[in-house]
Amino acid sequence: MSNRILITGVTGFVGSHMADFLFQRDPDAEIYATKRWHLSKMDNVRQIKDRIYWIDCDLTDPVSTRIAVEKAAPDQIFHFAAESFVSPSWSNPHRYMSVNYNGTVNLLEAMRLAESSARLLIPGSGEEYGEIEESELPIRETSALRPVNPYAVTKIAQDLIGSVYFRSYGLNVIRTRAFNHEGPRRANVFGIPWYAYQIARVEAGLQGPELRVGHIDDRRNFTHVADMVEAYWLAMEKLPAGELFLVGSEDEASVHTFREALEALISLSPAAHITYRIDPEFVRPTQVPRLIADTSRFREATGWRPKIAYEKILSDTLDYWRQRVADGRH
């Protein structure tokens, strides 16, 4: 018998890919998902929306969240609902805490009150580590947390309250911190899709050849979203509750600065004379210069290995935005 699976944030980037992955593994999967009435954008799930059992829910409302958990009665919960774009977190810190922390508390409380034995995956972020010196690389589960933006603080709080509910009430909380993952459907407010979106517009004759970008010298290890959702599925299936695991590619070929990613995307375009300039509008108050992780504990526990090359992350993202621009969906 298939598990009953609840996905929060299914209409977003990772959540929609997770639902696709689960249906590919089991076409008869019983997937429940939260949405915010008429407010959730359904574009990312249009191909599967009629196969999902939808529950109207605002996770920032404890009553709404409790009802959703009762309706779904899940065996597994993938908790992807979040405010994830870092830049607005300085101007909207209460909103980020409300969604990322309070929303998670509401979900945990709903599970506790329902005496749920569901396994709950909480996906944290490499941003939680913040100011890491070169000498402190690679980042490990025990590395110091030095967050430099409000978003990262809310993700730390989300992770730690999950740990508290595991320790206090025995809830089956699966704790991960994922490093940069990219690919189709990621909103064009983020770095790589923002570059790809502008290049697609240049190719379509909708803007001039100069791209506007933010700070581009931060270094990351990049993973394709398709590899990441497989990692999350393995985390759900194999990781012990309560322990923290880091997730992401370690291949040296996947470690790049955003400048290198931008220039590689430009090289994929047939458009001539594309240039770029740093626009102060897109520069954050503080930067996270390096997020390179040691994910060996996760790989040993799950057997996961990323399969998709860094170059395909870029080409898939660029092709996605080319299609959206061509369709007028941008």
Record the tokens describing residue 11, joined without a space: 């209409």
Please check whether residues 257 and 125 belong to one and the same domain.
Answer: no
Please check whether residues 202 and 231 belong to one and the same domain.
Answer: no
For residue 290, CA distances in Å to 27, 65, 138, 261 come to 40, 36, 9, 15
Q: Is 111 within a domain?
A: yes
The answer to whether residues 190 and 85 touch, using CB atoms and an 8 Å cutoff, is yes
Please check whether residues 13 and 145 belong to one and the same domain.
Answer: yes
User: 247: closest CA among 312, 313, 175?
Assistant: 175
> For the chain, what is the domain count?
2
Please check whether residues 243 and 259 belong to one and the same domain.
Answer: no
Distance CA 125, CA 123 (A): 7
pLDDT at 330 (0 to 100): 81
The secondary structure of 26-87 as a DSSP string is -TT-EEEEEE-TTTS--GGGTTTGGGSEEEE--TTSHHHHHHHHHHH--SEEEE------SG
pLDDT at 329 (0 to 100): 84
Please check whether residues 229 and 314 belong to one and the same domain.
Answer: no
Q: Is 303 within a domain?
A: no
From the number of C-beta atoms within 10 Å of its C-beta (0-12, 13-18, 19+), residue 206 rates as: exposed
Please check whether residues 93 and 188 belong to one and the same domain.
Answer: no
Please check whether residues 94 and 193 belong to one and the same domain.
Answer: no
Please check whether residues 65 and 12 belong to one and the same domain.
Answer: yes
Q: Is 144 within a domain?
A: yes
Please check whether residues 240 and 260 belong to one and the same domain.
Answer: no
Q: Which domain holds residue 105?
A: 4-181+223-247
CATH number of the structural domain spanning residue 124? 3.40.50.720
User: 278: closest CA among 211, 218, 220, 219?
Assistant: 211
pLDDT at 322 (0 to 100): 98
How many alpha carbons lie under 13 Å from residue 192 in its C-beta half-sphere? 32
The answer to whether residues 293 and 221 touch, using CB atoms and an 8 Å cutoff, is yes
For the question of whether the overall pTM of this predicted structure is more than 0.85, the answer is yes
Please check whether residues 151 and 198 belong to one and the same domain.
Answer: no
For residue 316, CA distances in Å to 212, 221, 308 come to 21, 17, 11
Longest distance between any two alpha carbons in the chain, whole Å: 61
The secondary structure of 256-325 as a DSSP string is EEHHHHHHHHHHT---SS-EEEE-GGG--SS---EE-B--HHHHHHH-----S-HHHHHHHHHHHHHHHH
Q: Which pLDDT tens digits describe the chain residue by residue (330 residues)?
A: 479 999 999 999 999 999 999 999 999 999 999 999 999 999 999 999 999 999 999 999 999 999 999 999 999 999 999 999 999 999 999 999 999 999 999 999 999 999 999 999 999 999 999 999 999 999 999 999 999 999 999 999 999 999 999 999 999 999 999 999 999 999 999 999 999 999 999 999 999 999 999 999 999 999 999 999 999 999 999 999 999 999 999 899 999 999 999 999 999 999 999 999 999 999 999 999 999 999 999 999 999 999 999 999 999 999 999 999 999 988
Please check whether residues 190 and 97 belong to one and the same domain.
Answer: no
The answer to whether residues 211 and 198 touch, using CB atoms and an 8 Å cutoff, is yes
Helix (H) or strand (E) holding 122: strand 119-125
Please check whether residues 80 and 93 belong to one and the same domain.
Answer: yes
